[in-house]
Amino acid sequence: MQVMDSTIVRSDKTDKYQHHDYYNIDELLSEDHLLARDAVRDWVKREVSPIIESCAEQAKCPVHLFKGLAEIGAFGPSLPAKYGGGGMDEIAYGIIMQELERCDSGLRSMASVQGSLVMYPIYKYGNEEQRMKYLPKLASGEYIGCFGLTEPDHGSNPSGMTTNVVDKGDYYLLNGAKMWITNSPIADIAVVWAKNEEGKIIGLVVEKGMEGFSAPEIHGKWSLRASITGELVFEDVKVPKENVLPNVMGLKGPLGCLSKARYGIAWGAIGAALDCYDSALRYSMEREQFGKPIGQFQLTQKKLAEMITEITKAQLLAWRLGTLANDGKASPAQISMAKRNNVHMALEIAREARQIHGGMGITNEYPIMRHMMNLETVLTYEGTHDIHLLITGYDVTGLNAFK
């Protein structure tokens, strides 16, 4: 059982976040969606909001929260209950990610990686033995997982990866390195993508403690500071053959997981935007200059009105994507459009909200700079802003800019 790091400080400030639903989008949600959202919001306000600034300031991942995240059903909300998932639909998954990222993108990352990038591939591409071995432990937070696709020399272009396996009869010999891996230094298992001797990409579950496997931490991040990031280094690691995910081969394996996680980010980023908007709206009522609240000036109103307009558009995009996903009809390109639009929207809103807060906007009194810095990562990981644009470009023209 992980206990809270004693250097993390609990603030006595109250999380005053109010619910903003300009287009009555709640009416599109079911009772189950609303219950799931309220449970996550209550937990976040109670357990995470009071410590998140301290975690970010000290670059400490609140590892003790894995169990709590499991209890509120944040790991694999739309995976089958038989394997420890929530058995809910894709909109419930989205709304849970939104509530987590309303607090911090790093908190949402903890859940995205565990549910969509570790549990999902084991569920989708693994055999029954692998599912029963790993999924319940991941769902309960007993195991922490990570996902290794990116390499030092292959980020946007994972098909160029050089991490590789050689068949040694009863095991595979794994060599190579992965870079920028969320949770790697604290992970019990890593879902790793590597090329076999035919140059085909396969997925393997690498376990902590295997000889030749290490996961050093990457330090010095000014973004996603409450999330831990590291490398994965494989030096002649003997991976038993039963750890290979048997039901997928090729880049579509990891990209299929990314579709799941990018979908969650399309919802999650709205949470960060809502938190910035909420703070800016309240501040604009409280802060007076020239004898009146700054919210009374037309230029402040323009900012606030544009913020809620963009948030509302993003909410509708996410909701429609959710209904398509529930019918199994959300295409990777549609997911790319929503991830790209909603993350960029959130980053722009964080910048406008910072201006409304004036000098106070750069302090840790308000969540704005933390969200803004986090969103710089969110704009880049899971496919950069420009890569998603090129995916849309390919989809509408049929012409592939990557080849």
Among ligand TGC, ligand FAD, none, partner that 148 touches (CB below 5 to 8 angstroms by kind): ligand FAD
Binding mask 363-382 toward ligand FAD (x if CB under 6 A, else -) reads --------------x--xxx
Interacting positions 317-346 with ligand TGC (CB under 6 A): 332
| Interacting positions 218-247 with ligand FAD (CB under 6 A) | 224, 229
Among positions 62, 148, 176, 230, the unique one binding ligand FAD when judged by CB under 6 A: 148
x/- site string to ligand FAD, residues 160 to 199, per CB under 6 A?
--------------------xxx-----------------
User: Which range binds ligand FAD by CB under 6 A, 7-15, 150-158, 300-308, 316-324?
Assistant: 150-158
Specify the residue, 294 or 379, whose C-beta has the smaller distance to ligand TGC: 379
With tokens 């969103």, the residue in question is: 375
Q: Which amino acid is at 179?
A: M
Cα–Cα dist 18/389, whole Å: 33
> Are residues 175 and 164 in contact, defined by beta-carbon separation less than 8 angstroms?
yes
173 touches ligand TGC (CB under 6 A): no
Q: Is 150 in the site for ligand FAD (CB under 6 A)?
A: yes
Answer yes or no whether residue 112 interacts with ligand TGC by CB under 6 A. Answer: yes
149 belongs to the binding site for ligand TGC (CB under 6 A):
yes
Can you read off the two tokens belonging to residue 263?
A: 């979908």
Residue closer to ligand FAD (CB basis): 210 or 390: 390
CA distances from 232 to 75, 183, 191, 229, 383 (A): 23, 10, 11, 10, 20
Candidate residues 50, 136, 256, 393; the one interacting with ligand TGC per rule CB under 6 A: 256
Which member of 44, 92, 111, 113 binds ligand FAD (CB under 6 A)?
Answer: 113
User: Which listed option, ligand TGC, ligand FAD, none, makes contact with residue 159 (CB within 5 to 8 Å by class)?
Assistant: ligand TGC
By the 8 A CB rule, do 94 and 266 touch? yes
Judged by CB under 6 A, the residue of 98, 130, 164, 182 near ligand TGC is 182
152 makes contact with ligand TGC (CB under 6 A): no
Closest CA to 342 of 236, 262, 261: 262
The answer to whether residue 382 is catalytic is: yes
Q: Which segment (82-90, 128-136, 302-310, 381-389) binds ligand TGC by CB under 6 A? A: 381-389
87 binds ligand TGC (CB under 6 A): no
> What is the Rg, in whole angstroms, of the alpha carbon atoms belonging to the chain?
21
With CB under 5 to 8 Å by kind, the binding choice for 22 among ligand TGC, ligand FAD, none is none
Nearer to ligand FAD, 156 or 363 (CB): 156
Task: Examine residue 392 and tell whether it contacts ligand FAD (CB under 6 A).
Answer: no
Query: How many chain residues are in contact with ligand FAD, going by CB under 6 A?
Result: 22
State which residue, 149 or 294, has the beta carbon closest to ligand FAD. Answer: 149
Distance between CA 8 and CA 246 in Å, rounded?
A: 42
Q: Is 19 in the site for ligand TGC (CB under 6 A)?
A: no
Q: Which of 158, 212, 293, 393 binds ligand TGC (CB under 6 A)?
A: 158
Q: What is the 3-state secondary structure (H, E, C) of the chain?
A: CCCCCCCCCCCCCCCCCCCCCCCCHHHHCCHHHHHHHHHHHHHHHHHHHHHHHHHHHHCCCCCCHHHHHHHCCCCCCCCCHHHCCCCCCHHHHHHHHHHHHHHCHHHHHHHHHHHHHHHHHHHHHCCHHHHHHHHHHHHCCCCCEEEECCECCECCCHHHCCCEEEECCCEEEEEEEEEEEECHHHCCEEEEEEECCCCCEEEEEEECCCCCEECCECCCCCCCCCCCEEEEEEEEEEEEHHHECCCCCCCHHHHHHHHHHHHHHHHHHHHHHHHHHHHHHHHHHHCEECCEEHHHCHHHHHHHHHHHHHHHHHHHHHHHHHHHHHCCCCCHHHHHHHHHHHHHHHHHHHHHHHHHCHHHHHCCCCCHHHHHHHHHHHHHCCCCHHHHHHHHHHHHHCCCCCC
Q: Choose the stretch contacting ligand TGC; rule: CB under 6 A; options: 70-78, 186-194, 252-260, 278-286.
A: 252-260
99 forms part of the interface with ligand TGC (CB under 6 A): no
Residue ranges that bind ligand FAD, judged by CB under 6 A = 113, 146-150, 155-156, 180-182, 224, 229, 377, 380-382, 384, 386-387, 390, 402
Catalytic site residues? Answer: 382
Residue ranges that bind ligand TGC, judged by CB under 6 A = 109, 112-113, 149-150, 156-159, 182, 250-252, 255-256, 258-259, 261, 332, 381-383, 387, 391, 402
